[in-house]
Amino acid sequence: MIIVGITGGIGSGKTTIAKHLNALGVPLYVADDEAKALMNRSKVIRRKLTAIFGENAYKNDELNRTFLAKKIFADKSMLAKMNAIVHPKVASHFKRWLKKQKAPYILKEAAIIFENGLQDNYDYIITVVADKDLRIERLLKRDNSNKEKILAIINNQWPDSKKMEQSDFVITNNNLNSALLDAEKIHQKILKLSSK
Ligand code: ATP
Protein backbone atom coordinates (compact mmCIF):
# COMPACT_ATOMS: atom_id res chain seq x y z
CA MET A 1 0.00 0.00 0.00
CA ILE A 2 1.36 3.37 -0.99
CA ILE A 3 1.37 5.95 1.80
CA VAL A 4 1.13 9.58 0.70
CA GLY A 5 1.66 12.31 3.27
CA ILE A 6 -0.07 15.66 2.90
CA THR A 7 1.40 18.48 4.90
CA GLY A 8 1.71 22.25 4.93
CA GLY A 9 1.91 25.17 7.30
CA ILE A 10 -1.02 26.35 9.39
CA GLY A 11 -3.87 27.59 7.21
CA SER A 12 -2.24 26.47 3.95
CA GLY A 13 -5.32 24.41 3.10
CA LYS A 14 -4.08 20.85 3.61
CA THR A 15 -7.40 19.72 5.14
CA THR A 16 -9.34 21.29 2.25
CA ILE A 17 -7.19 19.47 -0.33
CA ALA A 18 -7.12 16.22 1.63
CA LYS A 19 -10.94 16.20 1.88
CA HIS A 20 -11.20 16.74 -1.86
CA LEU A 21 -8.96 13.73 -2.54
CA ASN A 22 -10.93 11.75 0.02
CA ALA A 23 -14.12 12.56 -1.89
CA LEU A 24 -12.42 11.07 -4.97
CA GLY A 25 -12.12 7.80 -3.05
CA VAL A 26 -8.70 8.09 -1.40
CA PRO A 27 -8.81 6.79 2.19
CA LEU A 28 -7.76 9.61 4.54
CA TYR A 29 -6.14 9.40 7.97
CA VAL A 30 -5.94 12.71 9.81
CA ALA A 31 -3.18 12.26 12.39
CA ASP A 32 -4.17 15.25 14.58
CA ASP A 33 -7.82 14.21 14.75
CA GLU A 34 -6.92 10.64 15.60
CA ALA A 35 -4.48 11.85 18.28
CA LYS A 36 -7.23 13.98 19.84
CA ALA A 37 -9.71 11.10 19.74
CA LEU A 38 -7.21 8.68 21.28
CA MET A 39 -6.35 11.13 24.06
CA ASN A 40 -10.02 11.10 25.03
CA ARG A 41 -10.69 7.41 24.63
CA SER A 42 -7.48 5.54 25.57
CA LYS A 43 -7.29 4.64 29.26
CA VAL A 44 -3.52 4.12 29.01
CA ILE A 45 -2.96 7.61 27.57
CA ARG A 46 -5.25 9.11 30.19
CA ARG A 47 -3.38 7.40 33.04
CA LYS A 48 0.02 8.51 31.71
CA LEU A 49 -1.04 12.10 30.99
CA THR A 50 -2.64 12.39 34.42
CA ALA A 51 0.60 11.11 36.00
CA ILE A 52 2.57 13.91 34.31
CA PHE A 53 0.12 16.83 34.24
CA GLY A 54 -2.03 15.99 37.27
CA GLU A 55 -5.77 15.38 37.66
CA ASN A 56 -6.60 18.61 35.80
CA ALA A 57 -5.40 17.02 32.55
CA TYR A 58 -9.01 15.84 32.15
CA LYS A 59 -12.20 17.68 32.93
CA ASN A 60 -15.71 16.20 32.71
CA ASP A 61 -14.20 13.04 31.24
CA GLU A 62 -12.65 15.01 28.35
CA LEU A 63 -9.08 16.12 27.71
CA ASN A 64 -8.66 19.57 29.25
CA ARG A 65 -7.01 21.30 26.29
CA THR A 66 -6.85 24.78 27.80
CA PHE A 67 -5.07 23.48 30.90
CA LEU A 68 -2.61 21.40 28.85
CA ALA A 69 -1.90 24.26 26.44
CA LYS A 70 -1.03 26.52 29.39
CA LYS A 71 1.26 23.89 30.94
CA ILE A 72 3.04 23.32 27.62
CA PHE A 73 3.37 27.05 27.01
CA ALA A 74 4.97 27.47 30.45
CA ASP A 75 7.30 24.49 30.07
CA LYS A 76 8.22 23.46 26.55
CA SER A 77 9.63 20.10 27.71
CA MET A 78 6.03 19.08 28.49
CA LEU A 79 5.22 18.92 24.78
CA ALA A 80 7.94 16.33 24.18
CA LYS A 81 6.67 14.33 27.16
CA MET A 82 3.09 14.43 25.88
CA ASN A 83 4.19 13.45 22.37
CA ALA A 84 6.20 10.53 23.75
CA ILE A 85 2.97 9.20 25.26
CA VAL A 86 0.59 9.96 22.40
CA HIS A 87 2.67 9.42 19.22
CA PRO A 88 3.39 5.69 19.65
CA LYS A 89 -0.32 5.06 20.24
CA VAL A 90 -1.29 7.00 17.12
CA ALA A 91 1.38 5.11 15.15
CA SER A 92 -0.03 1.72 16.15
CA HIS A 93 -3.60 2.92 15.55
CA PHE A 94 -2.51 4.05 12.06
CA LYS A 95 -0.92 0.65 11.34
CA ARG A 96 -4.15 -1.13 12.25
CA TRP A 97 -6.18 1.33 10.14
CA LEU A 98 -3.80 0.87 7.19
CA LYS A 99 -4.27 -2.90 7.19
CA LYS A 100 -8.00 -2.45 6.63
CA GLN A 101 -7.70 -0.13 3.61
CA LYS A 102 -8.31 -1.35 0.11
CA ALA A 103 -7.23 1.33 -2.33
CA PRO A 104 -4.19 1.94 -4.55
CA TYR A 105 -2.93 4.50 -2.06
CA ILE A 106 -3.90 6.21 1.17
CA LEU A 107 -3.45 9.79 2.28
CA LYS A 108 -2.18 10.73 5.72
CA GLU A 109 -2.61 14.35 6.76
CA ALA A 110 0.00 15.52 9.24
CA ALA A 111 0.91 19.10 10.10
CA ILE A 112 4.42 18.04 10.98
CA ILE A 113 6.39 15.60 8.86
CA PHE A 114 9.71 17.24 7.98
CA GLU A 115 10.10 19.03 11.30
CA ASN A 116 10.24 15.67 13.09
CA GLY A 117 12.29 13.93 10.39
CA LEU A 118 9.42 11.56 9.59
CA GLN A 119 9.60 11.76 5.78
CA ASP A 120 10.82 8.16 5.48
CA ASN A 121 7.43 6.96 6.72
CA TYR A 122 5.92 8.09 3.40
CA ASP A 123 6.27 6.95 -0.21
CA TYR A 124 5.37 10.40 -1.48
CA ILE A 125 4.79 13.75 0.19
CA ILE A 126 2.48 16.51 -1.01
CA THR A 127 3.12 19.95 0.49
CA VAL A 128 0.38 22.55 0.32
CA VAL A 129 1.55 26.16 0.30
CA ALA A 130 -0.21 29.52 0.11
CA ASP A 131 0.81 33.13 0.50
CA LYS A 132 1.27 34.14 4.11
CA ASP A 133 -1.24 37.01 3.92
CA LEU A 134 -3.93 34.72 2.53
CA ARG A 135 -3.28 32.13 5.21
CA ILE A 136 -3.59 34.75 7.95
CA GLU A 137 -6.79 36.11 6.41
CA ARG A 138 -8.34 32.62 6.22
CA LEU A 139 -7.33 31.69 9.76
CA LEU A 140 -8.71 34.93 11.17
CA LYS A 141 -12.02 34.02 9.52
CA ARG A 142 -11.91 30.37 10.67
CA ASP A 143 -10.57 30.62 14.22
CA ASN A 144 -11.01 32.78 17.24
CA SER A 145 -7.40 33.91 16.97
CA ASN A 146 -5.36 37.01 16.23
CA LYS A 147 -2.61 37.95 13.81
CA GLU A 148 0.17 37.82 16.44
CA LYS A 149 -0.74 34.28 17.55
CA ILE A 150 -0.96 33.08 13.94
CA LEU A 151 2.39 34.66 13.04
CA ALA A 152 4.02 33.08 16.10
CA ILE A 153 2.89 29.63 14.87
CA ILE A 154 3.94 30.31 11.28
CA ASN A 155 7.38 31.48 12.41
CA ASN A 156 7.77 28.35 14.54
CA GLN A 157 7.16 26.04 11.56
CA TRP A 158 9.60 25.27 8.76
CA PRO A 159 9.49 27.82 5.90
CA ASP A 160 7.61 26.60 2.82
CA SER A 161 10.78 26.75 0.69
CA LYS A 162 12.52 24.16 2.87
CA LYS A 163 9.50 21.81 2.77
CA MET A 164 9.06 22.26 -0.97
CA GLU A 165 12.65 21.15 -1.64
CA GLN A 166 11.97 17.83 0.04
CA SER A 167 8.47 17.19 -1.35
CA ASP A 168 7.45 15.04 -4.28
CA PHE A 169 4.50 17.30 -5.10
CA VAL A 170 3.65 20.89 -4.23
CA ILE A 171 0.18 22.43 -4.45
CA THR A 172 -0.10 26.20 -4.39
CA ASN A 173 -3.43 27.01 -2.81
CA ASN A 174 -3.85 30.71 -3.47
CA ASN A 175 -6.84 30.00 -5.68
CA LEU A 176 -9.09 27.13 -4.63
CA ASN A 177 -10.16 25.93 -8.09
CA SER A 178 -6.66 25.71 -9.47
CA ALA A 179 -5.42 24.03 -6.28
CA LEU A 180 -8.14 21.38 -6.53
CA LEU A 181 -7.31 20.81 -10.21
CA ASP A 182 -3.63 20.39 -9.30
CA ALA A 183 -4.64 17.93 -6.60
CA GLU A 184 -6.59 15.89 -9.15
CA LYS A 185 -3.59 15.80 -11.51
CA ILE A 186 -1.35 14.61 -8.68
CA HIS A 187 -3.98 12.00 -7.78
CA GLN A 188 -3.83 10.64 -11.35
CA LYS A 189 -0.01 10.58 -11.25
CA ILE A 190 0.03 8.65 -7.98
CA LEU A 191 -2.56 6.19 -9.31
CA LYS A 192 -0.25 5.58 -12.28
CA LEU A 193 2.79 5.21 -10.04
CA SER A 194 0.92 2.77 -7.81
CA SER A 195 -0.05 0.53 -10.74
CA LYS A 196 3.62 0.03 -11.77
P1 ATP B 1 -4.53 23.94 9.92
O2 ATP B 1 -3.06 23.77 9.82
O3 ATP B 1 -4.90 25.04 10.81
O4 ATP B 1 -5.26 22.67 10.22
P5 ATP B 1 -5.06 23.64 7.07
O6 ATP B 1 -3.74 23.77 6.40
O7 ATP B 1 -5.60 22.27 7.22
O8 ATP B 1 -5.04 24.41 8.45
P9 ATP B 1 -7.62 24.40 6.01
O10 ATP B 1 -8.33 24.15 7.29
O11 ATP B 1 -7.87 23.48 4.88
O12 ATP B 1 -6.05 24.57 6.26
O13 ATP B 1 -7.91 25.88 5.50
C14 ATP B 1 -7.90 26.99 6.39
C15 ATP B 1 -9.14 27.83 6.14
O16 ATP B 1 -9.04 28.44 4.86
C17 ATP B 1 -10.43 27.02 6.11
O18 ATP B 1 -11.45 27.79 6.68
C19 ATP B 1 -10.69 26.79 4.62
O20 ATP B 1 -12.06 26.65 4.33
C21 ATP B 1 -10.11 28.06 4.00
N22 ATP B 1 -9.51 27.86 2.69
C23 ATP B 1 -8.70 26.86 2.30
N24 ATP B 1 -8.28 27.03 1.03
C25 ATP B 1 -8.86 28.17 0.59
C26 ATP B 1 -8.82 28.90 -0.64
N27 ATP B 1 -8.09 28.49 -1.68
N28 ATP B 1 -9.54 30.04 -0.72
C29 ATP B 1 -10.24 30.48 0.34
N30 ATP B 1 -10.33 29.86 1.52
C31 ATP B 1 -9.64 28.71 1.67
pLDDT in tens, 99-127: 999 999 999 999 989 988 999 999 999 99
Are 112 and 195 found together in one domain?
yes
Domain boundary among 100, 134, 150: 100
Confidence of residue 196 (pLDDT cuts 50, 70, 90): confident
Confidence check: pLDDT of 95 > 90: yes
- Domain end position, chosen among 52, 70, 100: 100
Residue 86: which domain range? Answer: 33-100
Is 117 found in the same domain as 79? no
Does the predicted TM-score (pTM) go above 0.85?
yes
Provide the 8-state DSSP code for 56: G
Residue 144 binned pLDDT confidence (cut-offs 50, 70, 90): confident
Please give the torsion angle defined by the CA atoms of residues 118, 184, 21 and 121, in that order, rounded to the nearest 10 degrees.
Answer: -20
Say if residue 158 is in the same domain as residue 182: yes
pLDDT at 116: 86
Pair 116, 191 in one domain: yes
Residue 5's pLDDT is 98
Distance 173 CA to ligand 1 centre (A): 9
Phi, psi of 166 (to 5 degrees): -100, 10
Work out how many domains the chain is built from and give that number.
2
155 and 188: one domain? Answer: yes
Same domain, 136 and 57: no
Residue 1 confidence (pLDDT)? 92
Residues 50 and 72 in one domain: yes
- Nearest protein CA to atom 13 of ligand 1, as residue: 13
Q: Kindly state whether residues 91 and 110 are assigned to the same domain.
A: no
Identify the residues whose C-beta falls under 6 Å from ligand 1.
Answer: 8, 10-16, 111, 138, 142, 173, 175-176, 179
Domain edge (last residue) among 58, 81, 100:
100
Same domain for 65 and 127, yes or no, is no
Residues 40 and 96 placed together within one structural domain of the fold: yes
CATH code of the domain covering residue 133? 3.40.50.300
Separation of alpha carbons 41 and 4, rounded Å: 27
Residue 133: helix, strand or coil by DSSP?
helix
Average pLDDT value for residue range 179-184: 98
Q: What is the Cα 124 distance to its own chain's centre?
A: 15
Q: Which of ligand 1's atoms lies nearest the C-alpha of 10?
A: 2
